[in-house]
């Protein structure tokens, strides 16, 4: 089992035992969306937003700890100059399940970006990427089929989402720094 698969399964178990009804992909997308909107990990804010997102009155300490670690790791990856950022998706062999988790990841990202408090205007490429992520969030996993071509298409869409998120994050970070003086 890969590290990503272990992280996915561990987080899935923690969410399930807390009574949450989202999968780890959607939760990771949510964290990345909040980060891409310009917010940074803050224990009290993130605990409140996590509870609201999972529709829990109280967030168990282990879930809160895992979520904060996920957010901090995601921020580190988003800032990585080697483009090491990866989407947390199911490692299942089932193409439909992996397609579904990509859709959930995109839903979480859009939700997180929406509540993340971004107030500036995005460049056209990032605005278009947000629209594309919205379309990908509506994916029909049953239509994916099981073929090598479908597998390749899923990998390409995952890579597109990964790079789109990196671009959105970079654009919002550049906004917060203001214009560069040469």
pLDDT band at 114 (very low <50, low <70, confident <90, very high): very high
Residue 129 inside a domain? The answer is yes
Q: How far apart are CA 99 and CA 142, in angstroms?
A: 9
Higher pLDDT, 157 or 41: 157
Residue 118 inside a domain? The answer is yes
Residue 169 inside a domain? The answer is yes
Q: Model-level pTM?
A: 0.90
Task: Specify the number of domains making up the chain.
Answer: 1
Residue 124 inside a domain? The answer is yes
State the CB neighbour count (10 A cutoff) for residue 168: 27
Residue 182 inside a domain? The answer is no
End-to-end CA distance of the chain: 49
The stretch 33-55 carries a mean pLDDT of 85
pLDDT band at 182 (very low <50, low <70, confident <90, very high): very low
Q: How far apart are CA 32 and CA 55, in angstroms?
A: 19
Residue 144 has pLDDT above 70, yes or no: no
Q: Give the list of residues 6+ apart from residue 111 with CB closer than 8 angstroms, or none.
A: 29, 30, 33, 53
Q: How far apart are CA 116 and CA 37, in angstroms?
A: 5
Residue 75 inside a domain? The answer is yes
Q: How far apart are CA 164 and CA 147, in angstroms?
A: 26
CATH no. for residue 114?
1.20.120.740
pLDDT of residue 24: 93
Residue 60 inside a domain? The answer is yes
Q: How far apart are CA 40 and CA 63, in angstroms?
A: 18
Residue 62 inside a domain? The answer is yes
The boundaries of the domain holding residue 131 are: 3-177
pLDDT of residue 104: 96
Q: Give the list of residues 6+ apart from residue 64 with CB closer than 8 angstroms, or none.
A: 46, 47, 50
The stretch 38-43 carries a mean pLDDT of 79
Q: How far apart are CA 114 and CA 119, in angstroms?
A: 10
Both structure tokens of 59: 């967030």
């Amino acid at each position: 089992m890969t590290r990503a698969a272990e992280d996915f399964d561990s987080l899935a178990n923690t969410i399930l035992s807390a009574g949450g009804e989202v999968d780890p992909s959607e939760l990771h997308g949510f964290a990345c969306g909040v980060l891409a909107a310009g917010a940074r990990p803050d224990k009290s804010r993130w605990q409140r937003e996590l509870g609201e997102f999972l529709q829990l009155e109280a967030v168990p300490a282990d879930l809160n700890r895992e979520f904060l670690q996920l957010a901090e790791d995601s921020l580190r990856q988003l800032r990585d100059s080697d483009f090491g950022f990866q989407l947390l998706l199911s490692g299942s062999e089932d193409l439909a399940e992996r397609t579904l988790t990509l859709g959930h990841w995109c839903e979480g990202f859009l939700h997180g970006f929406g509540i993340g408090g971004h107030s500036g205007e995005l460049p056209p490429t990032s605005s278009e990427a947000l629209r594309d992520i919205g379309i990908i969030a509506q994916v029909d996993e049953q239509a994916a089929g099981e073929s090598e071509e479908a597998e390749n298409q899923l990998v390409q869409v995952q890579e597109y989402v990964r790079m789109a998120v990196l671009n959105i994050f970079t654009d919002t970070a550049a906004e917060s720094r203001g214009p560069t003086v040469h």
